[in-house]
Amino acid sequence: MAVFDGSDLKEWRKARKISAAELASRISVDESTIFRYESGKQVPDPDTMYQICKELGDIRNWDAWMRTEFSSYGRFHPEPIRYDLPGSILSLYAVCDQIEKYRKKVFQDAADGSIDNEETRAKLLQLMNDMVSAGQAVRALLPPIDKESGWR
C-alpha cells in the first residue's frame, strides 16, 4: 500500500469489527479522536499510529502510514518485500529455522538464568523481532475467523 490515510484506517477498523470506542479505549484516547483520525481532521503521531496498527493486528500498516506522512522515512527505510501467503509462510519458517539453529548458543549462555553475552542477546532479539514480523505478515494475509461459527 503506497498511501495510507484516515479512510483506510476506518475501513481497516470496520473490517476487524472493532468499534471506534473500543479502539479508543485500547489506545487510551477519546472516541472523537479516532473519528478525527479517520476523517483526516487530525493526524496521529507515529507512536499513536503504531499502537493503532498493533491493536488492529498488523504493524506493517504503520510502515505504509509512515511513508505517506513522512517522505524522509521512505528515503531512510527502503520498502520491505511483500509476499503472498505461501511466500509469507516460507519466510516465517525460515526465521524459525534460524532461531532453531541458534538455540544451542542461547541455551549455553542462558544456563545461569540470564543471557550475559551482548552479541548473543542482540542476535536473539533480532531473530525474535524478525519472527514476530514474519508472523504478523502471515496473520495479515489470513481471512479473519468468524467468532460465531469458528470458520473463516
Q: Determine the pLDDT at residue 45.
A: 92
List pLDDT tens digits, range 28-38. Answer: 999 999 999 99
Work out the burial of residue 80: count CB atoms within 10 Å of its CB; fewer than 13 is exposed, 13-18 middle, 19 or more buried. exposed
| CA 101/CA 107 separation, integer angstroms | 11
Selection from 17, 123, 13 nearest residue 58 by Cα: 13
> What are the pLDDT digits (tens) for 82-123?
678 888 888 888 889 889 988 888 998 888 888 888 888 888
The model's pTM: 0.52
Per-residue DSSP letter, 17: T
